[in-house]
Structure 1
Amino acid sequence: MAPLPPAVAACRLAVRESLAGWEAGGLVLAACSGGSDSLALAAALAFVAPRAGLRAGLVTVDHGLQPGSAERAAEVAEWGDRAGLTPAVVAQVTVRRAGGPEAAARTARYQALAEVAARVSATAVLLGHTRDDQAETVLLALTRGGGPRGIAGMPQRRIMHGVTFVRPFLDVSRAQTRAACADLGLKPWEDPHNADPAYTRSRLRAAMPVLVDTLGPDIVDNLARTARLVAADVEALDALAASAGTAAANPDGSLDVPSLAGLPSAVRTRVLRGYALRLGVPGAALSAAHIDALDALVMNWHGQGPVALPGGILVGRGAGRLASPP
């Protein structure tokens, strides 16, 4: 028997490890655009899932942003059927432009993936983001002045819209997924958006070879490792903030200022962020400036009025408490 190509082995091992512990008989979907990363992911899932006592399926999203997108999505689903990925579902979405085309497409895509997963009772949806994608995410966060949450990059596992999303390939390189496709005789689709300079991530991806030449070939691994290290710190701080927020909460839903003032800044600002989200402030609209203004009510209060948060929500200080008037 011929030895298994290293790239194929790496992809299958990553998927196998991501499926460890799942209940037997469950359905796992691969989100597959037809690109090399997601195609290698879907092929690995088709091989690994039955051997792990699981069922494997596929979902491909037609964003409707390019000519021929519907036909291409149908071809991906047909390939999924032939590869033993059942069901193989095409989800068609309408991408709105609010927040920019990249963000709008991402929002529509995850919503569609979650809806399909719920409809077919899938245990999880696997995503094909690689170590290279993680490195790019960290760099983007740094250039945008992102804090630890942004530098932590993409989590390996996350629940969105009530569905578990898993990224098995965060320790697999883009070169490995391309090699795996070649070894398996698969022909990936090259998304022209990936090379379109109108998109920030595309421009960064085009610049990565220059960074590698300038800073050395380890830059991608080092950035991905930074994400893992920072993510562990963020998780610990979030846990501390959850406990501190419970201790600072009053029965009427307000927050006790003296309790907040005694917290380290990294914990206190997380408590304030969580408080704002519970009040109904949209997370995407909640900025560092808003959190700083809330923090000033605690640590630098000199009688200033309430802070105006997105969504028309006000938070003010009175009688040693932070509260939002009814």
Structure 2
Amino acid sequence: MPAAQGSQADPALVALRSFVRRHAALGAAPAPVAIAFSGGADSTALLLAALQRWGPARLRALHVHHGLQSGADAFADHVRKRCAAWNMPCTVLPVQVQAQRGDSLEDKARDARYRALGEAARGLGCDWLLLGHQADDQAESLLLALLRGAGPKGLAAMPEATQRDGLWLGRPLLACSAEALRQSLDARALPYLRDPMNHDPAFRRSRIRHELLPVIARLEPAWRSTLARSAALCAHAAASIEEMAALDLARCAAPDGLGLGALRELSDARLGEVLRLWLRQAGLRSNHGQIDNLRRQVRATARGAMGLQVRLEAATLERRGGCLVRVAPAD
């Protein structure tokens, strides 16, 4: 296992140690720790820092093989060889990305990747899955959300730590720049992969990275910390909004769904947030137009409107008596 040249020489190790101090359960728990290992610079830096922190016995490297590019098999071979050299377990996860016309290949691949990583990490008995996202990734995520017209929850970008289906997802490197991580690896002559998709202008994230961020850097040299601060402020705002929505949701709850009378008492902003939270808790996705339509129809029930129906991808929302209910689609 290659040794770091002092903690100050390795930004990933400094960041990981700081992350463990903030999340004491990670440092104290005996369960194995999963590392999402693509073989690129960021995940290589994270894996090496984790090896320094815990040694190979506690770690489980997970590599997702999308098969989306010609070099995917070579990437998997690189990952296996690196892990064998460092005497640590490695699992390659084949994933099929099903994208239909109109779907975002990036979004579909990301969803498939998280699903495969989560299932594998839980299957290995891990409490934590660590991901190699860094400060540049965070800035790109914020800008992508801004260009999609996202609200505070979307503009919060990626949380440092979050729990999903009983598994903690951690991003220890969010304070590290991509350049600093690469320089640290290069200084130690440690190999890592360069993904050609990161330079493909067909992907919006790639264009933001290579076309937009250089302009922003000229306008604001401290763009990484500035955009990270904006994301953190949005995260705080989103948390406050969700806390209020949870209180409103409890007041509107009815045996079969949500009481229309209680919903109509809310302001438009609070009504929209209650509807989003109610659907999200049921695992249902909605967009701004659907929420706006549903809100108008709820208001219309105060004027005697009896019909209320909004179709989502996986359910239909209807009025039944004095309640708004979710109805699963017929098989």
Higher deviation after alignment, 59-68 or 139-148? 59-68
Aligned-partner Cα distance in 2 for 1:309–1:264: 23
Residue 212 of structure 1 corresponds to: 217
Report the CA distance shift for 1:161/1:94 in structure 2 as closer, same or farther (over 3 A).
farther
Letter in 2 for 1:93: V
Aligned-partner Cα distance in 2 for 1:7–1:266: 49
- Contact 2:294 2:310 survives alignment (8 Å): no
Equivalent position SS for 1:206: helix
Alignment equivalent of 1:268, drawn from 257, 266, 271: 271
Residue 191 of structure 1 corresponds to: 195
Task: Structure 1: state its 5+ residue gaps.
Answer: none
CA positional deviation for 1:24: 3.4
Q: Does residue 108 of structure 1 match 2:112?
A: yes
Aligned-partner Cα distance in 1 for 2:196–2:70: 11
Equivalent position SS for 1:209: helix
CA positional deviation for 1:240: 2.1
Alignment equivalent of 1:311, drawn from 307, 313, 319: 313
Higher deviation after alignment, 111-120 or 32-41? 111-120
Equivalent position SS for 1:186: coil
Residue 93 of structure 1 corresponds to: 95
Report the CA distance shift for 1:81/1:239 in structure 2 as closer, same or farther (over 3 A).
farther
CA positional deviation for 1:320: 4.6
Residue 296 of structure 1 corresponds to: 296
Please, what TM-score do these two structures have when normalized by structure 1? 0.88
**Structure 1 stretches of 4+ moved >6 Å:** none
Letter in 1 for 2:325: A
Residue 18 of structure 2 corresponds to: 17
- Contact 2:8 2:14 survives alignment (8 Å): no
CA positional deviation for 1:238: 1.2
Report the CA distance shift for 1:151/1:79 in structure 2 as closer, same or farther (over 3 A).
same
The 5 A counterparts of 1:149-164 are 149-164=153-168
The 5 A counterparts of 1:76-87 are 76-84=79-87, 86-87=88-89
The 5 A counterparts of 1:20-35 are 20-22=24-26, 23-35=28-40
Identity rate, percent: 34
Task: Structure 2: state its 5+ residue gaps.
Answer: none
CA positional deviation for 1:32: 1.2
Q: Does residue 203 of structure 1 match 2:204?
A: no
Equivalent position SS for 2:162: strand
Residue 179 of structure 2 corresponds to: 175
CA positional deviation for 1:265: 4.1
Residue 240 of structure 1 corresponds to: 244
Aligned-partner Cα distance in 1 for 2:314–2:7: 57
- Contact 1:238 1:267 survives alignment (8 Å): no
Report the CA distance shift for 1:117/1:181 in structure 2 as closer, same or farther (over 3 A).
same
Q: What is the number of residues matched between the two proteins? A: 316
CA positional deviation for 1:144: 1.2
Aligned-partner Cα distance in 2 for 1:291–1:256: 17
Equivalent position SS for 2:59: strand
Please, what TM-score do these two structures have when normalized by structure 2? 0.87
Letter in 2 for 1:130: Q
Q: Does residue 45 of structure 1 match 2:46?
A: no
Residue 225 of structure 1 corresponds to: 229
| Deviation by residue 1:207-257 (Cα, 9 ceiling, x = unmatched) | 2112211x2212222111111111112112212212221121012x22123
Aligned-partner Cα distance in 2 for 1:210–1:65: 30
- Contact 1:7 1:177 survives alignment (8 Å): no
CA positional deviation for 1:261: 3.4
CA positional deviation for 1:156: 1.4
Aligned-partner Cα distance in 2 for 1:66–1:245: 45
Aligned-partner Cα distance in 1 for 2:121–2:281: 27
Equivalent position SS for 2:30: coil
CA positional deviation for 1:6: 3.5
What RMSD over aligned residues (CA atoms) do the two structures have, in Å?
2.4
CA positional deviation for 1:278: 5.1
CA positional deviation for 1:37: 0.8
Equivalent position SS for 2:64: strand
Higher deviation after alignment, 266-275 or 201-210? 266-275
Letter in 1 for 2:80: A
Aligned-partner Cα distance in 1 for 2:160–2:41: 19
Equivalent position SS for 1:171: coil
Equivalent position SS for 2:254: coil
Equivalent position SS for 1:201: helix
Equivalent position SS for 1:64: coil
Report the CA distance shift for 1:309/1:55 in structure 2 as closer, same or farther (over 3 A).
same
Alignment equivalent of 2:66, drawn from 52, 63, 68: 63
Aligned-partner Cα distance in 1 for 2:65–2:209: 23
- Contact 1:7 1:180 survives alignment (8 Å): yes
Q: Does residue 257 of structure 1 match 2:247?
A: no
